[in-house]
Amino acid sequence: MGALFALEGVGLEIGGHRILHDVTFTVPDGGITVLLGPSGSGKTTILRLLNRLDVPTSGSISFRGDPIDQLDPLALRRRVGMVFQQPVVFPGTARDNLLTARPGASDDELAERLRAARLDRSVLDQLADDLSGGEAQRLCLARTLATDPEVLLMDEPTSSLDPEARRHLEATARSLVERGMRMVWVTHDLDQADRLGDHRVVIVAGRPATEREMVRYLADGSVDEGAVDEGSAADEEDEGPPADEADDGPPAAEDGPVDDSPSRRADA
């Protein structure tokens, strides 16, 4: 399976804070790749880089083999759709929302996107602000689908939803993937990662986790102290080769840690 995205030595600093540090891994071209890790570890930031809402200060990212900084950003964003953590609906009806992404589309075309997001056509005339949280998030998904993306970036899309709405959205995601959609799904929920992930990458402190960190995180969701704080935790020291390939097994297993001792972690 080829690489959908390949990140090579990606770093990001914002306002003097190091958010990401030497991030290297690939996203396989198929299924759902889960980016897993504690809050503040840099998962969302990585997703933003893939959509080019942010650009790395070092390293490179490619999409299907093309460096994304050489692709037209607007065309890239239509190929790489993004659904945010909080549903952001635009003023007006659901139709207005969908037309923002696909101007001039017929109701039939819009209804097809709604159906893919498991929403009824009757929603078209409803005010977007009147939808429930789960419906609003599915409308956001339908709106993103309206650009006919090749891949969806899902930024903890169920974190603000109740359990039923969450299950509903997960089922929607799975049905989309069965029809050929690729997804990168960010979550800090280990159970959700197990349910959804065809591949997974664990991110800790702004970089892919070492094997030790991954084993510990996957066991009980905990991380070493000092490896949580985004920006401050990604230290100056080289942690050894980072996780390379997202896979069913531990993502860092192939390269393994060079030195993963607690004392080094404490320096972080």
Partner 1 sequence: MPELPTPLLAQDGAAHAAIGWGGLATSLLLVGVAVGLSRWQGLRLDREIVWASLRALVQLLAVGYVLVVLVDPDTPVAFAWAWVGAMVLFAAVTVRRRAPEVPGITSLAVVALAVSSAISLGVVFGLRIYPVAGRAIVPIAGMMIGNSIGGLVVAARRLIAELSERRPEVEARLALGQPWPEASKPFVRSSLRTALTSQIESTKAVGLVFLPGAMTGLILAGADPVDAVLVQAALMYLILGCVATNVVVVGLGLTRRLFTPDHRLVRLARART
Residue 51 in contact with partner 1, rule: CB under 8 A: yes
Residue 34 · residue 156 · CB < 8 Å = no
Residue 20 · residue 11 · CB < 8 Å = yes
Pick the closest to residue 103 from 78, 86, 127 (CA basis). 78
Pick the closest to residue 145 from 153, 133, 157 (CA basis). 153
Residue 77 in contact with partner 1, rule: CB under 8 A: yes
CA distances in angstroms from 39 to 26, 44, 47, listed in the order given: 21, 9, 14
C-alpha 51, offset from chain centre: 10
In the window 112-171, what residues touch partner 1 (CB under 8 A)? 140, 143-144, 147
CA dist 222 and 34 (Å) reads 18
Residue 54's region, left for phi above 0, alpha for psi from -120 to 50, else beta, is beta
Q: Which two tokens stand for residue 27?
A: 């996203």
**Would you give the binding string for partner 1 spanning residues 53-72, x where CB under 8 A is met?**
xxx-----------------
Residue 42 · residue 155 · CB < 8 Å = no
Residue 192 in contact with partner 1, rule: CB under 8 A: no
Strand partners, 201: 35
Interface with partner 1 (CB under 8 A), residue from 34, 101, 177, 233: 101
Q: How many residues bind partner 1 (CB under 8 A)?
A: 25
CB of 190 to partner 1, least distance (A): 27
CB of 49 to partner 1, least distance (A): 11
Interface with partner 1 (CB under 8 A), residue from 100, 122, 132, 175: 100
Residue 90 in contact with partner 1, rule: CB under 8 A: yes
Q: Which is nearer to partner 1, 54 or 189 (CB)?
A: 54
Q: Which is nearer to partner 1, 93 or 210 (CB)?
A: 93
Interface with partner 1 (CB under 8 A), residue from 37, 40, 42, 81: 81
CA dist 177 and 96 (Å) reads 26
CB of 98 to partner 1, least distance (A): 10
Residue 84 in contact with partner 1, rule: CB under 8 A: yes
Residue 78 in contact with partner 1, rule: CB under 8 A: yes
Q: Is the Cα torsion angle 178, 76, 87, 35 positive or negative in sign?
A: positive
Interface with partner 1 (CB under 8 A), residue from 70, 75, 104, 236: 75
Which positions touch partner 1 (CB under 8 A)? 14-15, 51-55, 73-75, 77-78, 81-82, 84, 86, 88, 90-91, 100-101, 140, 143-144, 147
